[in-house]
Structure 1
């Protein structure tokens, strides 16, 4: 028996939450965007009415207002959106215990065990739609498939674009519906991979699905085989409710308000990222042995790099992480302007046990970190910080009261 997997996506989630809370905006184009005076003044969500004027996600707010000058602008309320997402998760658990959050506005659910309660998967999907709308005021679009990858593509490419907001993609219609799409529409194919595939003459998903798997495996190894399987709708990964239960890495990303081209300025950002990662690791009682740095350049060029280094010891101290991050950045930076940066700590282990080092002053570091953490918890992140955060390049104070770089 094939499984019945749903991918449930909240339509223009942030904008829909705002309209649900403010019925007076129901018939008006609405945009959720950050501070227009900073680079964070980009469109995070645009309701369907705003999209009819050509407004798109991630474009500058000023550009969006030229297209739709009468739009209602709402500043994001990230904590509220998180709360609504949690409510949706709880609601879905009334239908099945197999619920896997995929993002703040997307969730996978395995409905196989609940099918006997309904006439069809479509009837189940319609009931879930009604329940979510009643509970939150937000419309859900639902992709249905025998596995997660087909459910995801059913929602993204078809469910989001039909009146019902529901579409089923399975082995009986994959060749007719999915295969004619451009290769860039395949789940897991980013801009760079798309260029590689186009260079090989693979222009549509059907071309990849019928491409010799041996050649793909020879060129990209397991990733090549995975792309071939995705094109053919093959996916054996289960819906796993505990996916986010076990911490695998702790990271922090920052999109900068302008292009950073001076290494001293970039080091300020790396230091602040490292201290934040260290604080989160200590709060969750982890240490890590692998430090990673990811840097992105100008969006249009898709430039940047990702590097990592394994430390000889596990740590959750900010300066240990920063020194590794700075080394990675210095060795890899091509002197091109930096638009975004991220620092990640992985290969985690419980903080309670660690290797002693006669020269690392671990006890002193522990006492200092405990004191700093206590100040953070009581007075906030701006009560005490390192000297470089006084420099104009610092983003510490600008982001102190935000979630994910956006207002709470």
Structure 2
């Protein structure tokens, strides 16, 4: 590292969910393991250990497909509460080395070790020290990307550390051109399939092809390919290719002011063809959005409804919103508007995804009284229901419609982040 540069780590837990389960079951050490629902062949694989990946098992494929590739595969139901607990424990380990620890996801965290590195030697020595401590404490192997910026640390992890036996790699401005720039453009951070195709049409095949362009020239190419509104996106990708990232590591998870509250659900489209079935889930999403709004002490004046439709051959999606005369977080008021929005814009195809959101949030400590509704009484009733759910679980009180076969609220009550706890 150059004198004056920051030293930032991005530490990734290898196959985190699967690693946690294998550490808890030593008898599975030499067995290919994947995380999913073993009772649902059509469910997806959430994570796979290196042994399973070596036999062709991939994340997000169906359980039955994974078992075809690897008949000896052991599929374990996810335990999200345990994974969250272990993730927080690992954060505590990192905080023993520096107070600048920023969670990036459940299995990835940024560390700024600039101020404490002198206690441990080189950056690589410190990385190996942390790896060993996490492994001994949890049974989880970690990979460490090292860089002077967060984007270079992240890139070092994803493109290099994960592929090296020791799991440590440093990517700085001194080896950027040699190590990063020869890689194909699709391996650059935040470049997916559609963006790759745009770059290919512009003649940009490697990360270096982009990085060597002058910013003005790249912006002109982006405008020609993607329109006048692409300047901000062009500057972002140009900076990523050169490892430029002024953002600092921010300690902890800092809850900011809520700008929007939303809730979505992916559905089996083949089961949600009828309006009455779709509206059951729609209402359940509204219930959760309004409950969270009341928890945060806010109301929304804009209601958004989004849906993705498909019958296997045709596909359609829409997102529509409407502004209310006054903000609200009362379930029946939001549900009435959300259902009307959906009915108005639904094409009739089976629905594979639904989203509800409340926008333009304001504090709920004051609200407009009406002649026909006793709003203080309605809010008091809803908050009483919220308290019962907080104490006894989300399924302690359910709307009768959730007892229909189309309802998903009972199943989700036993999950965290859509997965069983």
- 1:121 aligns to 2:131 (yes or no): no
Query: Out of 337, 343, 354, which is 2:366 matched to?
Result: 354
In the TM superposition, 1:82-231 aligns within 5 A as 82-211=84-213, 212-215=217-220, 216=222, 218-231=228-241
Higher mean C-alpha deviation, range 55-64 or range 354-363: 354-363
Give the RMSD, CA atoms, in angstroms. Answer: 2.7
Query: Out of 383, 388, 401, which is 2:401 matched to?
Result: 388
Change (3 A) 1:323 1:75: same
Residue-pair matches, total: 406
Higher mean C-alpha deviation, range 319-328 or range 174-183: 319-328
- 1:276 aligns to 2:281 (yes or no): no
Q: How far apart, CA to CA, are the structure 2 residues paired with 1:26 and 1:305?
A: 46
Corresponding residue for 2:17? 14
Change (3 A) 1:184 1:74: same
Q: Give the CA deviation at 1:339.
A: 2.3
Q: Give the CA deviation at 1:38.
A: 6.7
Please list every run of 5 or more consecutive structure 1 residues that lacks an aligned counterpart in the other structure. Answer: none
- The answer on whether the counterparts of 2:299 and 2:362 sit within 8 Å (CA) in structure 1 is yes
1:246-270 residue CA offsets vs partner (Å, 9 max, x unmatched): 2534332322244434343333222
Q: How far apart, CA to CA, are the structure 2 residues paired with 1:162 and 1:300?
A: 42
Q: How far apart, CA to CA, are the structure 1 residues paired with 2:199 and 2:188?
A: 11
Corresponding residue for 1:251? 262
- The answer on whether the counterparts of 1:36 and 1:61 sit within 8 Å (CA) in structure 2 is no
Higher mean C-alpha deviation, range 355-364 or range 232-241: 355-364
- The answer on whether the counterparts of 2:79 and 2:419 sit within 8 Å (CA) in structure 1 is yes
Q: How far apart, CA to CA, are the structure 2 residues paired with 1:288 and 1:35?
A: 40
Higher mean C-alpha deviation, range 75-84 or range 312-321: 312-321
Query: Out of 314, 318, 336, which is 2:327 matched to?
Result: 314
- The answer on whether the counterparts of 2:103 and 2:252 sit within 8 Å (CA) in structure 1 is no
Q: How far apart, CA to CA, are the structure 2 residues paired with 1:204 and 1:61?
A: 35
- Secondary structure of the structure 2 residue equivalent to 1:113: coil
Q: How far apart, CA to CA, are the structure 1 residues paired with 2:212 and 2:276?
A: 51
Corresponding residue for 2:76? 74
1:91-135 residue CA offsets vs partner (Å, 9 max, x unmatched): 111111111111111111111111211221111111111111122
Q: How far apart, CA to CA, are the structure 2 residues paired with 1:3 and 1:324?
A: 51
Q: How far apart, CA to CA, are the structure 2 residues paired with 1:22 and 1:50?
A: 16
Corresponding residue for 1:287? 299
- The answer on whether the counterparts of 1:36 and 1:42 sit within 8 Å (CA) in structure 2 is no
1:214-254 residue CA offsets vs partner (Å, 9 max, x unmatched): 32363413222212211221111111125532253433232
- 1:235 aligns to 2:238 (yes or no): no
Please list every run of 5 or more consecutive structure 2 residues that lacks an aligned counterpart in the other structure. Answer: none
Corresponding residue for 2:37? 34
Higher mean C-alpha deviation, range 311-320 or range 53-62: 311-320
Q: How far apart, CA to CA, are the structure 2 residues paired with 1:300 and 1:12?
A: 34
Q: Give the CA deviation at 1:328.
A: 5.1
Bigger Cα Rg = 2
- The answer on whether the counterparts of 1:99 and 1:109 sit within 8 Å (CA) in structure 2 is yes
1:357-378 residue CA offsets vs partner (Å, 9 max, x unmatched): 4356421321220232133234
Higher mean C-alpha deviation, range 395-404 or range 190-199: 190-199
- The answer on whether the counterparts of 2:145 and 2:155 sit within 8 Å (CA) in structure 1 is yes
- The answer on whether the counterparts of 2:269 and 2:350 sit within 8 Å (CA) in structure 1 is no
Change (3 A) 1:314 1:202: farther
Q: Give the CA deviation at 1:312.
A: 4.7
Change (3 A) 1:391 1:68: same
- Secondary structure of the structure 1 residue equivalent to 2:267: strand
Change (3 A) 1:288 1:354: same
Q: How far apart, CA to CA, are the structure 2 residues paired with 1:142 and 1:179?
A: 20
Change (3 A) 1:82 1:60: same
Query: Out of 24, 37, 60, which is 2:27 matched to?
Result: 24
